[in-house]
Chains A and B, each alone.
Chain A
Amino acid sequence: MRQIAVMVGQRLALGLLTLLAISILIFGATELLPGDFAEAVLGQSATPETVAAIRRQLGLDQPFWVRYWAWLSGALQGDFGASLANPDRRVADMIGVRFGNTLFLAGYAAAMAVPLALGLGILAALWRNSVFDRGVNAGALTAISFPEFFVAYVLILWLGQSGWFPTMARVPAGVEMSERLWRTFLPALTLTLVVTAHMMRMTRAAIINLLASPYIEMARLKGVSPLGVITRHALPNAIAPIANVVAINMAYLITGVVVVEVVFVYPGLGQLIVDSVSRRDIAVVQAVALIFAAAYVLLNLAADVVSTLSNPRLLHPR
């Protein structure tokens, strides 16, 4: 168990370095974009004087390193600064609710997609090359091949316009859980359809790969039922690749769903970062980008911990 603790510690430290590197990258990349906050917010009605006044007021006339250092020293103390657009609103408050919304939707979609993908993957491996296997494969590949917004519009047409589910996934503060689940069902279902195929096919492939091993043949000769062979003997050894692909898809559910958010008018982080990039609102961009990067770091770490735990050879090295 000590190894695990050491590994988690090392990886977290490396993760912090990664976040630091990413913060420099994002800051620099935003700097390279044409225009700054003052020009972006004034748009067509910008005049040189008003642009200069806004820059002066917000310190945008300072050189790059000065601004980065000011941001970094604040961030190290846990203060991610204020939005350029609304100096009264701290970035942490702005992000709080939306981060909760994003986690909720990602969790909702994962709660549907992961069991579905694993179940279908196991069944497809069990009845491989059958009509069921081919049907599930074809269905999953079809769903993943359509762009998300198309899947979303088809669901709106079938399930939304008939009045069964709302097409606007607004979640006012203080609604009950059951209503919240009902209101966000369509975006969650869209995401489920988009991520299931990847996990399902990886589960199927990992299991089928193992089915050719001698120990599986042994189990079969012992008289273990086909389902037992897969769930008791093959699956435990297939956990590592499956955990990895689940982690990647979970990270995607947190970071990559802006299109679904736009179609269903769901106030999540994706919409926030797109807005903030187009306005060059650097403090918000930084904070959201760091959340996204942290999601990747943590989920990958979790996947590695799971694969280590599932493999006694890694857990007890000689």
Chain B
Amino acid sequence: MSSLIGKGLSRRGLLQGASALGASALILPAGLRPARATPQRGGTLRLGLGHGSTSDGLDPALWDQVFVQMLGACLHNYLTVVAADGTLEAEVAESWEASADAATWTFKLRDGVRFHDGARVTAADVAASINHHRGEDSESAAKPIIAPIVEITTDGDDVVIFRLEAGNADFPFIMSDYHLPILPAADGRVNPDAGIGCGPYTLQTFDPGVEATFARFDDYWKDGHAHFDAIALYAIIDAAARQNALMSGEVDVIDRVSLNTVHLLERAPGVKLISVPGTQHYVFPMDSRADPFTDNNIRLAMKYAFDREELVRTILNGYGVVGNDHPIGRSNRFHADDLEQRMYDPDRARFHLREAGVDTLRVQLSAAEAAFNGAVDAAVLVSESAARAGITVDVVREPNDGYWSNVWMQKPFVASYWGGRPTEDWMFSTGYASGATWNETFWEHERFNEMLLQARSELDEALRAEMYAEMQAIVRDEGATVIPVFANYVMAASDRVMTPEVIGANTTLDGFRAIERWWFA
């Protein structure tokens, strides 16, 4: 041994040699490879989350950020759930079927699903849980997405029938929305603040803005899920504090890793990064009713004036992909793969300016960090790249406070973001359809709106794929939103935390289901 060291083989070299051996093990034929470790039960998963506020509550109607979304995933189950591969899985519902026009949906409930207080989940509970978000007095953020429901009826204890005002082939996806958990009902009403659900964990303590703790629900119906004995969610708003907590072993998983310092975390021992390209994207909507953005040539000039690759490199530190000016992510079912990728092209931008009959252009871009991390920096980069195309972009730094009520959808050109939606129809009808509440560009396109309705009630998958591809092209070429980047969900975990091979891309933390899909080695 000493002679080896004498020849310059240091301890580090020895370790490198050992890891090289480890690497060779990975290329053995599959039959010889040790099977991927089967999930172990046990341990307390401690999650450090970048959200959480003293005003958080248990009422799902008002949930708005990751802390309460995770709380929902711990406590509750939903009719359906988006699986890690993006398909829809049955949860409280066992199966569902649509009428021929896709306007009536019949959900059959699973047998043997129980609430934490031991009661069976019945059709009446489901109906009351959804009705909680409907009606005149509803305060629910989910009100717009379930507005098309005309009537909810039950047939016995385990059949629920939803009648919609028009066909919607993706309706079961809507039932997976995090606002719509199944709560126990009494006399047709739910008590949203009781903290009882039929999910994998029961609530132990909840201190809003600080922490929430849970213990495994012994009667949880799913096999091979909910491996942890207990869960603890901590609100750690400060990105550096979150990172410190992980590195010093006080939490096991953190979300929202700061992309400014992610390269330091890459080198930290005992920590692994989990980066999932998902549906989350950063956007720069232009008010299509306001001059000069009424002219599609001006909008195209703006789209060509964004240096997308530079934004991915600097704002996202490489943890993302370039966007193609439509809101459908690569992980979506009907993503148009053969649509040409738009790139930075100052000459094309100048061409479209000339088409619009102007030589130069001066616009104001309003941004604040509230829109997304690095929004102000991104706006400054845009003004640099646009300058080379003859467009002067004046960056207006707005206050974070009140950004969504006073700037977004008020000023003509702003920074914003979308968490993305699991289906094309949901995304388009939330943010791009004529008259949609959050149509942030006030964009109206006859053909697009027509096709949106057609595709919604179409049950033939091939036909739908074709229609959604054309709609993506329309939004890309005639829409009023610049969508330069799709940002990955970047999380970090201690080496002890094991994840399945495929991690959900629909939201952060494995579609919020890390708490029941992950385990400790």
Contact = CB atoms under 8 A, between A and B. Distances in A.
B142 to A, nearest CB: 9
Interface stretch (A127-135, A139-147, A159-167): A159-167
B245 interface: yes
B244 interface: yes
B452 to A, nearest CB: 19
A275 B248 contact: no
Contacts of B245: 167-168, 265
Contacts of A85: 53-57, 62, 208
Interface stretch (A48-56, A244-252, A300-308): A48-56
Given A34-B402, A166-B248, A265-B238, 8 more contacts: A33-B402, A42-B62, A56-B137, A161-B244, A170-B210, A263-B241, A275-B54, A284-B54
Nearest to A165: B248
Contacts of A168: 234, 236, 241, 244-245, 248, 250-251
A156 B244 contact: yes
A99 interface: no
A75 interface: no
Given A263-B240, A281-B55, A42 B141 contact: yes
Contacts of B56: 85
A49 B143 contact: yes
A33 to B, nearest CB: 7
Interface stretch (B74-82, B103-111, B292-300, B404-412): B404-412
B497 interface: no
B46 to A, nearest CB: 10
Give the interface residue-count category, chain A. 35 or more
Given A35-B406, A170-B211, A278-B401, A262 B139 contact: no
B207 interface: yes
A267 B207 contact: yes
B53 A265 contact: no
Contacts of B55: 41, 83-86, 275-276, 279, 281
Task: Report whether over half of chain B's contact residues are helix, strand or loop; otherwise say mixed.
Answer: loop
Most chain B C-beta atoms within 10 Å of own C-beta, residue among A44, A276, A278: A44
A45 interface: yes
25 contacts: A33-B402, A34-B401, A34-B402, A34-B405, A34-B406, A42-B62, A42-B141, A44-B438, A45-B438, A46-B141, A49-B143, A50-B138, A53-B138, A57-B137, A84-B55, A85-B56, A85-B62, A170-B234, A263-B241, A265-B234, A265-B236, A265-B241, A265-B245, A275-B53, A284-B54
B209 A42 contact: no
Nearest to B144: A47
B193 interface: yes
B247 interface: yes
Counting chain B residues whose Cβ lies within 8 A of the other chain, the interface size class is 35 or more
The 10 closest A-B pairs by CB, nearest first: A85-B55, A34-B402, A45-B141, A39-B405, A35-B402, A35-B405, A167-B244, A275-B54, A267-B210, A279-B55
A56 B136 CA distance: 11
B83 interface: no
Interface in A264-318: 264-265, 267, 271-272, 275-276, 278-279, 281, 284
B396 to A, nearest CB: 16
Nearest to A97: B207
A44 B416 CA distance: 9
A16 B292 CA distance: 57
Interface in B221-267: 234-238, 240-241, 244-245, 247-248, 250-251
B247 A161 contact: yes
Nearest to A262: B238
B252 to A, nearest CB: 13
Interface string A61-95: 00000000000000000000001111010000010
A284 B208 CA distance: 13
A53 B437 contact: no
A62 B384 CA distance: 48
B244 A50 contact: no
Contacts of B57: 85-86
B64 interface: yes
Contact of B140 (A50, A262, A263): A50
B193 A166 contact: no
Nearest to A54: B139
A279 B144 CA distance: 22
B139 A45 contact: no
A167 B64 contact: no
Given A85-B55, A275-B53, A47 B143 contact: yes
Contacts of A50: 138-141, 143
A104 interface: no
B294 to A, nearest CB: 25
Nearest to A278: B401
Interface string A107-120: 00000000000000
A47 to B, nearest CB: 5
Contacts of B144: 47
Contacts of A275: 53-55, 209
B378 to A, nearest CB: 18
Interface string B468-504: 0000000000000000000000000000000000000
A279 B53 contact: yes
A223 interface: no
Contacts of B236: 168, 265
A27 interface: no
B250 A166 contact: yes
A63 to B, nearest CB: 20
Interface in B122-143: 136-141, 143
